[in-house]
């Protein structure tokens, strides 16, 4: 299967990806989109526009194409080249330079931990740093990454109260184990996005300030600590693009002050983004 990797002149992240493809014995055609590959990439982009992510800063390179699937960004390309089994761990990131993010600990298969460690170890050897996130699942993956010294920043995205986690089928013991692992990473934070929730009566409304307090109290109960970095952030209605939320008003940081007050009852470092 013919592989093409689209790169950009001076793109250090592209060089890191190409070196790994070579190490894995994957032959490819390298097209520089600022040189001889410009016309070819423009054609490719027209034909695959829906599969190529364009963020606020433009298109993230490298872009990998094997005739069937498009893989984009350093972490995603290296993860794909390592093993299809770890595809769930890697997503499109927003960070640049020496940072790789979009590493979703809860989205991958724990059985593929060896392959994940291989990919991250290679990226670390190339001078990259990692920002990873979790929603509480797969604590065994976090334990392994801690043991391997992998991971520079870890964010735990709190999804709701204990009852909300339970209703969504989460293993509460796993979630609480994750809560206790997070502070073991050198840089970390717990993040609560004040998101819309659907109540039992079908009404969709934002998480309530009192529920933010419950979540902060659960974190204190599970870890025995009340001084965790705890960040409250507004949900982005526009980015969600969900018609169910059309009746809601976009929250701003100032709207989260009551949430912060409730959270500080159990987490004294609670702050708004």
Instruction: Say yes or no to pLDDT of 75 above 70.
Output: yes
Task: Give the tens place of pLDDT for each residue, 13-41.
Answer: 999 999 999 999 999 999 999 999 999 99
Distance CA 141, CA 81 (A): 20
Please identify which residue in the block is written with the tokens 């290679």. Answer: 122
Q: Does residue 228 contact residue 180 with C-beta atoms inside 8 Å? A: no
Instruction: Say yes or no to pLDDT of 146 above 80.
Output: yes
Q: Does residue 72 contact residue 64 with C-beta atoms inside 8 Å? A: yes
- Within the chain, strands assigned E span 4-7, 29-32, 54-55, 58-59, 63-65, 70-72, 99-104, 129-134, 153-158, 187-194, 196-198, 204-206, 230-234, 270-272
Q: Determine the average pLDDT of the residues in 62-78.
A: 96
Question: With bands split at pLDDT 50, 70 and 90, how would you rate the model's confidence at 96?
Answer: confident
Task: Give the tens place of pLDDT for each residue, 165-203.
Answer: 999 999 999 999 999 999 999 999 999 999 999 999 999
Task: Give the tens place of pLDDT for each residue, 103-120.
Answer: 999 999 999 999 999 999
Report the pLDDT value the prediction gives residue 55, as an integer from 0 to 100: 87
Q: C-alpha angle 157/163/164, rounded to 5°?
A: 45
Measured in residues, the chain has a length of 273
Burial 171-182 (b: 16+ CB within 10 A, else e): eeebbbbbbebb
Strands 63-65 and 58-59: unpaired
Question: With bands split at pLDDT 50, 70 and 90, how would you rate the model's confidence at 1?
Answer: low
Q: Give whole-number Cα distances, 102 to 93, 191, 202, 258, in Å.
A: 4, 15, 32, 30
Which two tokens mark 106? 């809860």
Q: How many CB atoms lie within 10 A of CB 63?
A: 28
């Amino acid at each position: 299967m013919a592989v093409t990797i689209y790169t950009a002149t001076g793109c250090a992240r592209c060089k890191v990806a190409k070196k790994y493809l070579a190490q894995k014995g994957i032959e490819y055609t390298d097209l520089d989109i600022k040189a001889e590959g410009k016309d070819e990439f423009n054609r490719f982009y027209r034909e695959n526009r829906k599969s190529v992510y364009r963020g606020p800063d433009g298109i993230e390179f490298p872009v990998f194409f094997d005739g069937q699937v498009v893989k984009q960004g350093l972490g995603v390309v290296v993860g794909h080249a390592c093993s299809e089994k770890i595809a769930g761990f890697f997503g499109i990131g927003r960070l640049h330079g020496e940072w790789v993010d979009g590493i979703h600990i809860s989205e991958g298969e724990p059985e593929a931990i060896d392959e994940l460690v291989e990919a991250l170890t290679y990226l670390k050897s190339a001078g990259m740093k990692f920002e990873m996130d979790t929603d509480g699942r797969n604590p065994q993956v976090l334990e392994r990454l801690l043991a391997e010294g992998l991971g520079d920043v870890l964010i735990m995205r709190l999804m709701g109260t204990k009852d909300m986690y339970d209703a969504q089928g989460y293993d509460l013991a796993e979630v609480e184990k994750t809560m206790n692992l997070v502070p073991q990473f050198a840089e970390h934070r717990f993040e609560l996005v004040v998101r819309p929730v659907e109540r039992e009566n079908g009404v969709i409304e934002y998480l309530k300030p009192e529920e933010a307090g419950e979540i902060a109290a659960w974190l204190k109960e599970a870890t025995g600590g009340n001084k965790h970095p705890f960040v409250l952030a507004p949900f982005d209605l526009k980015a969600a693009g969900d018609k169910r939320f059309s009746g809601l008003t976009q929250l701003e940081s100032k709207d989260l002050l009551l949430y912060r007050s409730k959270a500080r009852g159990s987490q004294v470092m609670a702050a708004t983004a």
